[in-house]
Amino acid sequence: LSFLSGPSFAKEVSQFLPTALTIFSTNQEKSQEFAKLFPKFIKPYFSDDIVGGEIAGAYKNVIAIASGITEGLGLGNNARAALVARGLVEIDRFGRYFGGRSETFLGISGSGDLFLTASSTLSRNFRTGLGLAMGKNIESILEELGEVAEGVMSAKAIVDIARKRDLYTPIADEVLAIIEGKSPKKSVADMLDR
**Residue 159 to residue 34: CA distance in whole angstroms:** 34
In order of 1, 79, 177, 184, the CA distances from 166 in angstroms are: 29, 27, 18, 24
Q: Could you give the CA distance from residue 44 to residue 142 in angstroms, rounded to a whole number?
A: 32
Task: Collapse the DSSP code of 9 into the 3-class scheme (helix H, G, I; strand E, B; otherwise coil) and give the result.
Answer: coil
φ/ψ (deg, to 5) at 186: -65, -40
Question: How does 116-128 read in b/e, with b if 16+ C-beta sit within 10 Å?
Answer: bbbbeeebbbbbb
Which entry of 60, 136, 164, 182 is annotated as an active-site residue?
A: 60
Strands (E), the chain: 2-5, 19-25, 42-47
Q: Is 60 a catalytic residue?
A: yes
Q: How far apart are CA 175 and CA 169, in angstroms?
A: 10
* Helix-then-strand count for the chain, H and E: 11, 3
Q: Which positions are annotated as active-site residues?
A: 60
